[in-house]
Amino acid sequence: MKILLVGSGGREHALAWLLAQSPSCRALYCAPGNAGIESCAEIVDIAAEDVDALVAYAKNNEINLVVVGPEAPLVKGLADALAAENILVFGPSAAAAQLEGSKGFMKDLCKKYNIPTAGYERFSDLEAAKAYIMQQTPPVVVKADGLAAGKGVIIAQNHDEAIEAAAEMLSGSSFGDAGAQIVIEEFLDGEELSYFALADGKTMLPLTSAQDHKRAFDGDEGPNTGGMGAYSPAHMMTPELEQKILSQIIEPTIDAMAKEGCPFTGVLFAGLMVVDGQPKLIEYNVRFGDPECQTLMVRFKGDLAAVLRACASGTLSEMDGQVGWSEEPSMCVVMATKGYPGSYPKNTPIKGIAATFDVQHLTVFHAGTAKDENGALVSTGGRVLGITATGKDLREAKGKCYRAVGLIDWPDGFCRSDIGWRALKAADEAA
């Protein structure tokens, strides 16, 4: 197959790295890519959200499969536009992408089909929202309905804070149109994990779990980010918990989406809270997580290109038994530009990546990099590198990641030093 991958982050570099190694992939292209993706795909200079240009490119270049990394082009209808031209696409239709694009849609689906999630109500009127907030026991969770770049969730510690958040969202001052509707929900107290499954509209293929680290600084302090590091599998995952996630959450969702007339194809990423051993759905994403994807790809065993094509063509049942996972756990430590998730400088020089090549089973995935006019590597984003390794246990994987961090010469970068701390603490306690 000739495959076009859409996106430019660390997730896409990990996908490109594995697709390029897939027996079913003959040629790989990536739009718009980054300086790391260059080493495994031909770069195409089209923005990830330029739906018309991507469709035209796929048509004119006889692309057999388009793999969409980020959510924004999916919510904009990229998969629908490609399907209209009979081009296979890995990623959901705009209607199915509402699972991520509208929190209210996701919550209403859960209510209708008895999928465990936090209790909630939807509002577009401030007075009604205020009355509901006053009936809740804090903390109260206030969410903008639409996409808000991962920032649309406020966990309010008291009623005043919740009302203020609701007022700001509904007035449009905090998230524009994404906040014109809000969801107010119950606070779930537990430990979070991410679970991933593929679907072709009717059939589901379970993948595996990971745990992200959303706060910027050690000890889960500081502002929320897109994710500062992850490891896979999540330490609290057991066969029993996985069974509950699949039978109570993922499978009913795939069935519900088909019944609602918007069958889900692509990867379903469930953000879950485990409360007393019971998984509850916090949110759905309709794409791989970043940096969770990096930790999944280095453990994946199989022909990724063939599996993603099966999702796109409705033949996932044929892939039964074709996907395996390394027994070795993996970790990804994100290096970000100092200042992230606030404002940060761009075009800062990064050296020393070649020195990491000696570290066994370690890959440096690029997330926000480019080459300057002299061909030297520079940063172009907040999250810039994803240092990813497997090891015989998580401690060994972590050791490799931080050895590589020490070899990278990037004065403007920082990372957390405690990725995987919950799993390592649990392992110490069990020992």
Give the contact letters, 84-123, x = binds to ligand AMP (CB under 6 A), - = no.
----------------------------------x-----
CA atoms of 199 and 308, how far apart (whole Å): 9
Residue closer to ligand AMP (CB basis): 53 or 153: 153
By CB under 6 A, is residue 290 in contact with ligand GLY?
yes
Residue closer to ligand AMP (CB basis): 91 or 226: 226
Give the shortest CB-153-to-ligand GLY separation in angstroms.
12
Give the shortest CB-198-to-ligand AMP separation in angstroms.
21
The dihedrals phi and psi of 424, each to the nearest 5 degrees, come to: -70, -35
By CB under 6 A, is residue 329 in contact with ligand GLY?
no
Helix 304-313 vs helix 10-19: crossing angle, to nearest 10? 100
User: Which distant-in-sequence residues (6+ apart) come within 8 Å of 266 by Cβ?
Assistant: 68, 74, 79, 90, 91, 92, 96, 198, 199, 286, 287, 311
By CB under 6 A, is residue 185 in contact with ligand AMP?
yes
Give the shortest CB-393-to-ligand GLY separation in angstroms.
23
In the chain, the amino acid numbered 25 is: C
Give the shortest CB-152-to-ligand AMP separation in angstroms.
6
Give the shortest CB-141-to-ligand AMP separation in angstroms.
4
Judged by CB under 6 A, the residue of 73, 91, 289, 413 near ligand GLY is: 289
Tokens of 139: 């903390």
Q: Which stretch binds ligand GLY (CB under 6 A): 93-101, 116-124, 285-293, 297-305?
A: 285-293
Residue closer to ligand GLY (CB basis): 10 or 201: 10
By CB under 6 A, is residue 12 in contact with ligand GLY?
no
Distances (CA, A) of 355 to 4, 35, 83, 134, 403: 31, 17, 44, 57, 10
Judged by CB under 6 A, the residue of 12, 100, 185, 212 near ligand GLY is: 212
Q: Which stretch binds ligand AMP (CB under 6 A): 150-158, 306-314, 338-346, 403-411?
A: 150-158
Q: Which of residues 54-83 bind ligand AMP (CB under 6 A)?
A: none
By CB under 6 A, is residue 227 in contact with ligand GLY?
yes
DSSP H stretches of helix in 4-125? 10-19, 51-60, 71-75, 78-84, 98-101, 103-112
Q: Which stretch binds ligand AMP (CB under 6 A): 185-193, 287-295, 305-313, 423-431?
A: 185-193
Would you say 129 and 100 are in contact if contact means Cβ atoms under 8 Å apart? Answer: no
Neighbour tally for 285: CB within 10 Å: 21
Give the shortest CB-235-to-ligand AMP separation in angstroms.
17
Give the CA dihedral 114, 119, 125, 128, nearest 10 degrees: 120
Q: Which does 100 bind (CB under 5 to 8 A by kind): ligand GLY, ligand AMP, none?
A: none
CA atoms of 275 and 110, how far apart (whole Å): 17
**Residue 178 DSSP label:** G
- Secondary structure (DSSP) of 251-294: HHHHHHHHHTT---EEEEEEEEEEETTEEEEEEEESS--TTHHH
Q: Which does 292 bind (CB under 5 to 8 A by kind): ligand AMP, ligand GLY, none?
A: ligand GLY
Q: Are strands 65-68 and 88-90 parallel, antiparallel or unpaired?
A: parallel
* Positions that interact with ligand AMP (CB under 6 A): 118, 141, 150, 153, 155, 185-188, 192, 214, 271, 282-283
* Positions that interact with ligand GLY (CB under 6 A): 212, 226-227, 285, 289-290, 292
